Amino acid sequence: MSITSDILRGHTEAIILANLLEQDSYGYQINKDIMKKTNNTYELKEATLYSAFRRLEQAGCIRTYWGDETVGARRRYYAITEDGRKAYQGYKQEWQEAKEIIDKLLK
């Protein structure tokens, strides 16, 4: 499982962008969705997740805003930007190509 974690870690940003394609979300919700989609086999460490958020924000792929919660502490929401959508398409394509190459080489 540790090898898989390392491999997947490099794709954290694409995974987050994929999650934000449909709707805005916040940290914990995103992690929960990922766990659900992978049937609890994959969970991102908080540090990894938030590190990816910062990088995505720096690159202009996502933007953040504070939610106006009526109860509890206010939350930081993330939304994907146009640049982010383009970057995501790029990621997906590169991943497809990489997948094909590796599948060919690892018979």
Partner 1 sequence: MDERIRQHFNTIFAEAPKTRMALDLKQEMTQSAIDKYNDMVADGYSEEDAYQNVIDSIGDVTELFPEVEEKNLFALPEKDRKKKAMLTACAVGLYIFAGAIFLASGMLSEGFGFDEHIVMTYGFVLAIIICIPPTVMLVYAANMYPGYTKREKQDMVDQIKEVNHRTNREKAVLKTIRSLIWTIALIIYFTISISTFAWNVTWIIFLIAACVQKIVQLIFELRTEEKHL
If you write DSSP's letter for every residue of the chain in order, what string do you get?
-HHHHHHHHTTHHHHHHHHHTTS-EEHHHHHHHHHHHTTTS----HHHHHHHHHHHHHTTSEEEEE---SSSS--EEEEE-HHHHHHHHHHHHHHHHHHHHHHHH--
The residue among 45 and 92 lying less far from partner 1, judged by its C-beta, is 45
The residue among 53 and 88 lying less far from partner 1, judged by its C-beta, is 53
We find the least distance from the C-beta atom of residue 46 to partner 1, in angstroms, to be 5
We find the least distance from the C-beta atom of residue 76 to partner 1, in angstroms, to be 5
Site of interaction with partner 1 (CB under 8 A): 26-28, 31-32, 43, 45-48, 50-51, 54-55, 58, 72-73, 75-76
The residue among 11 and 32 lying less far from partner 1, judged by its C-beta, is 32
Longest CA–CA separation in the chain, Å: 56
Counting every residue written for the chain, the total comes to 107
We find the least distance from the C-beta atom of residue 7 to partner 1, in angstroms, to be 17
Tokens (6 digits) for 48: 């990894």
The residue among 67 and 99 lying less far from partner 1, judged by its C-beta, is 67
We find the least distance from the C-beta atom of residue 25 to partner 1, in angstroms, to be 12
